Structure 1
């Protein structure tokens, strides 16, 4: 009888251990998420985020049904490219203004 109780207690401990080790939902740690707005899941079941800067680009995020994992790398690349373009436009604007002003 003691063996039966020990087995039950051990199996309960194993089940609790497995449940506690199951994958938990990731928190959004990166500051990059402030630059994007969640638009929810599309018809294909994939969650999407929209760029707050350009308001056009949408990106797949999270894990897709086909087990493809979308993290923040592609979001960071998009943001960096947009910042690069904005810097170039800003520099051109400053050059044009400085040409018009005679010191």
Structure 2
């Protein structure tokens, strides 16, 4: 039963990570790409680490998985914030087109 839960967690994490990659490729500007990379990428990595910790159930591996998730949660928002500030200082403007504007 634990292996099935671990497999589901790893699958969901992989799906989230793929969604983050698609978001980085498809979204229109640096700010929305940054959002996809940090939010969904961190969630996907966290789910994969949770599945890994459940599968192996060794205290050393569980501790490493917790530390990886903690490091990701600590560094991803800071990195995204710094990228956003640098983009604004370089003069990159956020994308403002609404879906209603396409029909006019």
TM-score, length basis structure 1: 0.34
Q: Which structure is richer in relative contact order (CA contacts within 8 A, separation 6 or more)?
A: 2
Q: Counting strand residues as a fraction of each chain, which structure ranks higher? A: 1
Bigger radius of gyration: 1
If each structure's helix is expressed as a fraction of its own residues, which one has the higher value? 2
